[in-house]
């Protein structure tokens, strides 16, 4: 679970980034350790931003938000032993929750298709973080297995029956 000090470090880092981008938006720590990865969720207050700023910070398919999150995690966890690293998730305007619901639906549809046809199913156009989420969603399906295939930026998640 994230400590108060870790939450504050994440919040300060994200506030400084927004300030450097000339965006005056509040950042609040919102659910800590409520997710499987015990990530500290930091939410950028959408009410402080215009629709254009929200779109710019999210980017196409969340790519900018993913990049901000990656930089935050890399910067604050650099040089720390694995057991002391704190994962952070950056949320804006409900994007992460919406995308997580979409990924769960995609994972369930892929599982159903594989069970129905017996053929493997490739999921394309997922970021590395999204592939990890789908792997996690499907790990409890005892009759299915997942793997990744290919090289970035064309890496794909594959769902198949266990052999």
Percent of the chain with pLDDT over 70: 94
Residue 125: band (very low, low, confident or very high) from pLDDT cuts 50, 70, 90: confident
Residue 128: band (very low, low, confident or very high) from pLDDT cuts 50, 70, 90: confident
Q: Which residues on adjacent β-strands are paired with residue 25?
A: none
pLDDT at residue 35 is higher than 80: no
Domains of the chain by range and CATH?
4-93 (3.30.300.20), 99-161 (3.30.1370.50)
pLDDT for res 152? 86
Burial of 126-155, coded b for 16+ CB within 10 Å and e otherwise, reads bbeebbebbbebbeebeebbbebeeeeeee
For residues 41 and 89, is the Cβ–Cβ distance under 8 A? yes
In terms of pLDDT, which residue wins out, 67 or 127? 67
Q: What pLDDT digit, counting tens, does each position of 62-102 carry?
A: 999 999 999 999 999 999 998 889 999 999 999 998 998 99
pLDDT for res 36? 54
Q: What pLDDT digit, counting tens, does each position of 19-31 carry?
A: 999 998 989 877 5
Residue 2: band (very low, low, confident or very high) from pLDDT cuts 50, 70, 90: low
pLDDT at residue 17 is higher than 90: yes
Q: State the angle between helix axes of 4-20 and 63-77 in degrees (0 to 180), rounded to the nearest 10.
A: 130
Residue 106: band (very low, low, confident or very high) from pLDDT cuts 50, 70, 90: very high
Q: Which residues on adjacent β-strands are paired with residue 40?
A: 32, 88
d(CA 67, CA 51): 19
d(CA 147, CA 40): 27
pLDDT at residue 34 is higher than 80: no
pLDDT at residue 1 is higher than 70: no
Label the pairing between strands 88-92 and 40-44. parallel
For residues 157 and 123, is the Cβ–Cβ distance under 8 A? yes
């Amino acid at each position: 679970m994230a400590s108060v000090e870790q939450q504050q470090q994440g919040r300060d880092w994200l506030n400084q980034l927004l300030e450097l981008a000339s965006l005056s938006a509040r950042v609040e720590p919102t659910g800590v350790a409520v997710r499987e990865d015990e990530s500290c969720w930091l939410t950028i207050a959408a009410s402080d931003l215009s629709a254009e700023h929200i779109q710019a910070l999210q980017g196409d398919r969340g790519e900018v938000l993913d990049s901000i999150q990656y930089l935050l995690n890399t910067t604050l966890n650099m040089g720390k032993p694995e057991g002391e690293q704190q994962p952070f998730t950056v949320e804006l305007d409900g994007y992460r929750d919406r995308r997580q619901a979409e990924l769960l639906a995609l994972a369930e549809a892929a599982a159903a298709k594989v069970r129905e046809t017996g053929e493997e199913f490739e999921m394309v156009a997922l970021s590395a973080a999204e592939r990890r989420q789908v792997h996690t969603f499907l790990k409890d399906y005892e009759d299915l297995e997942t793997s990744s295939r290919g090289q970035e930026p064309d890496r794909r998640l594959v769902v198949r029956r266990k052999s």
